[in-house]
Amino acid sequence: YAWFYLAVCYTETQQYKKAADVYENKVLKLDPANIDVMNNLAYVYREMGENEKALHWLIRAEEAKKGSK
The pLDDT value recorded for residue 23 is 98
Given a contact cutoff of 8 angstroms between Cβ atoms, the answer to whether 39 and 57 are in contact is yes
pLDDT digits (tens, 9 = 90+) for 28-42: 999 999 999 999 999
Instruction: Look up the pTM and report it.
Output: 0.92
